[in-house]
Amino acid sequence: MCLAVPARVTRLIDDEWCVVDLGGVRKDVCTALVEEVREGEYLIIHVGYALGRIDASEAEQTLALLELQAEAREELEGYAP
């Protein structure tokens, strides 16, 4: 199974690279598959490549759900049946 996650573009490096914010972690990402990337927009990222754009509202909802999932997993790890 593959997972692509939304990330916000924080800085353009050149025509094919940018820096994104993934939950506070900054990462260089290849943007060769997406035309005219702009700072501040959200991209769908998979293993260092931007696959496409995502609406800011949808990206924020997805990130909130991923955060809830992480919190639930932490709670369950502390539970011993």
Taking the domains of the chain in order of start, what are their residue ranges? 5-77
Task: Give whole-number Cα distances, 5 to 63, 74, 76, in Å.
Answer: 8, 20, 23
Structure tokens at 42: 């959200």
The predicted-structure confidence for 3-48, as pLDDT tens digits, reads as follows 899 999 999 999 999 999 988 999 999 999 999 999 999 999 999 9
pTM of the model: 0.83
State the first-to-last Cα distance of the chain, in angstroms, to the nearest integer: 29
**Residue of 34, 9, 32, 13 lying closest to 21 (CA atoms):** 9
Topology of domain 5-77, CATH? SH3 type barrels. (2.30.30)
Alpha-carbon span 7 to 24, nearest angstrom: 10
Alpha carbon dihedral 8, 11, 17, 22, in 10-degree steps, equals: -30
pLDDT at 80 over 70: no
* pLDDT-derived band at 61, boundaries 50, 70, 90: very high
